[in-house]
Amino acid sequence: MNRVRVCSLLPSATEIVFALGMGHSLVGVTHECDYPAETAGIPKVTRSHIPPGIPSAEIDAAVSSTLGAAGSLYELDLPLLERLQPDLILTQRLCDVCAVSFDRVQEAVKSLASRPAVLNLEPYSLADILDNVCAVGRATGSSAAAERAVEALRRRIDAVRRKTETVRSRPRVFSMEWVNPPYCGGHWMKELVEIAGGTDGLANLHKPSYRIEWRRVLEFAPEVIVLTCCGFGLERVAQEGEILAAFEGFSDLPATKTGRIFATDGSSYFSRPGPRIVDSLEILAHLVHPELFAAPPLSEAFRALGVLRTRQHAML
């Protein structure tokens, strides 16, 4: 049987394909697909309209204006797609900020001689993410590998859940998807916090993230703050922590006083709904309940930002 030629328009889908042992089937990926390392040699079929390196507040404004004017933050390289002749395109319509818009993909497919099938991956929950793994398995002829992968992921999820089911203390956790302006966690984040043994009173279960008034965060008085900024790696997220430290009332938050503010590699973990979402859960479990969970061996994925408290007080 001829191998299916796959073009992935999602970093999470790319990771799923590799996790199923089907990396050799990928003929095209996005400019944001950076894991595993083998993706570096695969042709990139997208580019972003948002300039790199600009401040988060400018990114937020640019996202709004670009979506309004162009309808998509990303551009597809149609001539390259034509040359690659994919049989299957993996995409999503969950979030226009995360990938090429679904409508653009549908338009592109009509012009391709290979007439590829389009698989829409649209996860709102942890269960949806696991279902997506199975869907990719079916579409790529690797269902058995997908079932094994999902079973292994479920075992890890259950291991965390069993430890936290009976905990007496459930700290208030604010998972912050964007700092300036503030956004709470979306879709699966509230679920992850609850499985990890925390309480998230700001996010909506299995619903998109939304811009939140800082006043509500102050009223919630989080005991743990986890920065999971979408699209940012660990170092950039740590820089966002400096912006957070200047917010009114920051020094009075319980999380600030106890040094329980953490930066994470949001781009690779929390905002990427692939196999490493379970790594995200295990990271979160350690941050919320370090007395129950040892730190995962992922030193480049998260770190404490307790130094923010000192700098804040030094400014006053």
Question: In whole angstroms, what is the distance from residue 245 CA to residue 255 CA?
Answer: 12
Q: What residue spans of the chain are helical by DSSP H?
A: 11-19, 56-70, 78-84, 102-111, 126-139, 143-164, 189-195, 214-220, 234-244, 254-257, 277-288, 307-315
Exposure on the CB side of residue 137, measured as CA atoms within 13 A: 18
- Domains located in the chain, CATH noted: 6-148 (3.40.50.1980), 170-315 (3.40.50.1980)
End-to-end CA distance of the chain: 69
Please give the pLDDT value at position 44.
96
DSSP helix/strand/coil, 174: strand
Tokens standing for 39? 């993706």
Name every residue whose Cβ is closer than 8 Å to that of residue 149 and which is 6 or more positions away in sequence: 19, 20, 133, 137, 275
Name every residue whose Cβ is closer than 8 Å to that of residue 275 and which is 6 or more positions away in sequence: 15, 16, 19, 133, 149, 153
Question: In whole angstroms, what is the distance from residue 188 CA to residue 192 CA?
Answer: 6
Question: In whole angstroms, what is the distance from residue 307 CA to residue 155 CA?
Answer: 36
Per the CB < 8 A criterion, the answer to whether 226 and 260 are in contact is no
pTM of the model: 0.91
Taking alpha carbons only, the member of 289, 210, 225, 222 closest to residue 263 is: 225
* φ, ψ for residue 258, nearest 5 deg: -100, 0
What does pLDDT average to in each consecutive run of 10 residues of the chain (316 residues)?
86 97 97 95 86 76 61 81 95 70 81 92 96 98 98 98 96 97 96 98 95 97 97 95 96 96 97 97 98 95 75 38
